[in-house]
Amino acid sequence: MQRAPFAVGLWILTISACVGQVEPSSTEAPDQPGLTPDGTPPAAKGTPGKGPTGAAGSGGTTAPVLDQPGPRALRRLSRDELNNTLRDLLGDTSSPANPLPPDGRGDTGFTDTGSLSTVVVNYLLEMVERVGQTATAKLPGLIACDPVAMGDVACAKGFIERFGRRAYRRPLDSAEVTDLVTYFTSVETTLKAPFTDAIRLVLEAMLLSPRFLYHWETSNAPAKADNGLIRLSPSETASRLSYFLWATMPDDALFAAVDNGRLTAAADVERETLRMLADGRARQAVAAFHSQWLGLDRLAQVPKDSKQFPMFTPALVTSMLAEVDDLVTHSVLDNAGSLKSLLLSPAATLDMPLAKVYGLGTAGAVALDATQRAGLFTRAAFLTVNASPIASHPVKRGVSIYRGLLCGNLPPPPEVVVPPQAPPPGVSTREQYAAHGQNACASGCHALFDGLGFAFEHYDAIGRFRAEDGGKPVDATGTVRPPSGGPPLAFQDAIQMMGLLAAAADTRDCVARQWTRFALGRREVDGDAASLAGAIGGFKTGDGDVRGLIVALAKSRSFLYRSPSSEEVVR
């Protein structure tokens, strides 16, 4: 295969320099109104990203800083985002990024692609070469000009500007166009490559550029800060929306909104967000949020004892994940965006292997026994991933609820944790773990989440309902003390507990916090407080409107602004 070693090597050196971070930059923030209802720029106060520094008053202390977003997280396109983007950019449906190593998980609990190892660089090289070869047959349509009639260089320049606009998710600046045209001419001259081969190598070089691989849709111009904050450009806003809601590049409608100046005001962002949520591509992103939030993307690697659970096969794992995807997308996108539906609905779509786990003899769209199943957290996928290979695991299940659904903070676990053993005959799992909870840690941590975990004792290691455990009736009673304070909530089982949590402010606030982390790619800072409060306000009373939350988050200051990065040159 023909390659320009020197030029492509320069791109790879640039990518390799992005281990951890690249030098941030930004296009000049447009002189446009902000996103307050009256169309004026939101007032900035204090130091970006900093927390409260004391009460304002005669003592000289400053007011709390609650509306100053932190720096934008530097993230590479994830494996799924690469697959989706190459599909939409080049029509490549082969999932070319699948051979890449699995994406990591950050302190948000969601996918983190900030670092870039030599191994990943090598995978990217191989991927881009395969994509370039696949794209060869499509190049005439992508080039969209006649090099004989127009001249090679002029035709190549037109391709670079058109294709680069979509690949970089923004217009290329003149220096970038010049560099790529120079690369094209050097390939034609040095390698004696035909026009189409030279264009293919330019395409590959662009796909290896950090401008394609990273969520940083800016040129090399210094950013313009206004009162300590940098407003994302319309191109950056379009890309942030598209990767948040679709996990892929902007579509033609978003590009047109940018080009026509229709992605600057609050109404513009809301219009596009609602349009995108109504598009089928939003289903993948909604499913991905819930999968990462609950750790369900680890389900295929969860071991189970084959003698006790011979039915636990890769096919059953696929069925479990498909059921959850159907539940969450229907609850969020089809059922009035209902948080209550997500947490309490007994509706399910099952195939026969999973129907048998639920004790049913028929598959298809069913209503599960409402005395046994209530929403997402009583489904087999969540219960299976939060269990041991041989039995239920109240600690795992309780910690997952306390951290994931209530956003409670816990101290680090002990360095050495003894793996759970099968309960002796005549001893239930609850009795075994209750005895474990009597150690010195119990008052400091287990008391916070054990009750939440015991609520799920009606479900075994793959989520099957059981009335007895260890030869005794299951005891699923418990209490939970909300992390924000207030009296304990008592319940008889997981069904009643989920009803209490579905109505709790802690749950609503935590779901908003989790969506914020997913959208921003970082944990919230004190300066995000106002944006987070606005997102929480996007919930409607009663069932809770997740779509309202998403729209409010997309219009928030933290989503559309950033503070300068460390050592960034601004003007």
Query: Which pair of tokens denotes residue 271?
Result: 């219009």
Q: Does residue 536 form part of some domain?
A: no
Mean pLDDT of 220-224: 82
- Report residue 454: phi and psi, to 5°: -65, -25
Query: In this predicted model, which residue has the larger pLDDT, 224 or 63?
Result: 224
Average pLDDT over residues 439-461: 81
Residue positions counted in the chain: 571
Residue 38 has pLDDT above 60, yes or no: no
Q: Do residues 348 and 366 touch, judged by C-beta distance below 8 A?
A: yes
Most confident of 229-238, 419-428, 440-449, 477-486: 229-238
Q: pLDDT tens, 523-554?
A: 999 999 999 999 998 887 667 899 999 999 99
Q: How many domains does the chain have?
A: 2
Write down the pLDDT at residue 440.
Answer: 53
> In this prediction, what percent of the chain has a pLDDT beyond 70?
85
Say yes or no to pLDDT of 254 above 50.
Answer: yes
Residue 282: alpha-carbon gap to chain centroid: 12
Model pLDDT, residue 509: 95
Are residues 295 and 437 part of one domain? yes
Closest alpha carbon to 336 in 509, 547, 552: 547
270: which residues sit within 8 A by CB, 6+ positions away? 551, 554, 555
Cβ(230)–Cβ(71) below 8 Å? no
Specify whether 209 is located in the same domain as 343: no
| Confidence bin at 424 (pLDDT 50/70/90) | confident
pLDDT tens, residue by residue, 376-400: 999 999 999 999 999 999 999 999 9
Would you say residue 65 has pLDDT above 70?
no
Please say if the pLDDT value at position 30 is more than 60.
Answer: no
Q: Are residues 293 and 194 in the same domain?
A: no
3-state secondary structure of 248: coil
- Tell me, yes or no, whether 205 and 341 share the same domain: no
561 located within any domain: no
Q: How far is CA 227 from CA 43, 46, 67, 483, in A?
A: 8, 9, 12, 35
Place of tokens 């640039």: 14
Is 535 among the domain residues? no
Nearest to 428 by CA among 390, 389, 457: 457
* pLDDT (average), residues 47-55: 39
pLDDT confidence of residue 226: 85
172 shares its domain with 309:
no
Average pLDDT, integer, range 506-519: 96
Question: What DSSP line would sit under 97-139, residue for residue?
Answer: TTTSPPPEE-TTSSEE-----HHHHHHHHHHHHHHHHHHGGGH
Same domain, 160 and 307: no
d(CA 132, CA 130): 5
pLDDT reading at 219 higher than 90: no
The crossing angle, in degrees rounded to 10, of helices 494-502 and 505-520 is: 70
In the three-class reduction of DSSP (H, G, I as helix; E, B as strand; rest coil), residue 205 is classed as: helix
Q: Which of 13-17, 67-71, 542-546 has the lowest mean pLDDT?
A: 13-17
Q: Are residues 290 and 209 in the same domain?
A: no
Is the pLDDT reported for residue 515 higher than 60? yes
205 and 292 share one domain = no
Give the C-alpha separation, 283 to 449, whole Å.
Answer: 32
Count Cβ atoms below 10 Å from residue 377 Cβ, excluding itself. 26
What does the pLDDT look like over 461-473, one tens digit per residue? 999 999 999 999 9
Beta strands in 146-232 (DSSP E): 230-231
Does residue 340 form part of some domain? Answer: yes
Query: Do the domain assignments include residue 440?
Result: yes
Q: Which of 502, 535, 561 is the last residue of a domain?
A: 502
Please report the pLDDT score of residue 337 as a whole number. 83
Q: What are phi and psi of 120, to 5 degrees?
A: -65, -40
Which pLDDT score, from 0 to 100, does residue 67 have? 86
pLDDT of 4? 45
Please report whether residue 62 resides in a domain.
no
Q: What is the pLDDT of residues 86-122, one digit of tens each?
A: 999 999 999 999 999 999 888 999 999 877 789 999 9
Same domain for 177 and 296, yes or no, is no
Residues 106 and 204 in one domain: yes
State residue 540's pLDDT score.
75
Tens of pLDDT, residues 313-358? 999 999 999 999 999 999 999 977 889 999 999 999 999 999 999 9
Neighbouring-strand partners of residue 226:
229
Do 290 and 207 lie in one domain? The reply is: no
Res. 445 pLDDT band, cuts 50 70 90? confident
Position 222 scores a pLDDT of 83
pLDDT, tens digit, 9 for 90 and up, residues 263-294:
999 999 999 999 999 999 999 999 999 999 99
What's the mean per-residue pLDDT of the chain?
86
Domain that holds residue 185: 5-23+73-213
**pLDDT for the residue 63:** 52
- Judge whether residue 21 has pLDDT over 60: no
- Residue 15: pLDDT band with limits 50, 70, 90: very low
Question: Would you say residue 40 has pLDDT above 50?
Answer: no
Highest mean pLDDT among 53-62, 231-240, 422-431: 231-240
Query: In the listed set 448, 471, 502, which residue is the last one of a domain according to the structure?
Result: 502
What are the pLDDT digits (tens) for 186-208? 999 999 999 999 999 999 999 99
Residue 150 within a domain = yes
pLDDT of residue 438: 55
Domain boundary among 181, 213, 245: 213
Query: pLDDT confidence of 567, banded at 50, 70, 90?
Result: confident
| DSSP 8-state secondary structure symbol assigned to residue 297 | G
| Domain-located, residue 294 | yes
- 93 shares its domain with 179: yes
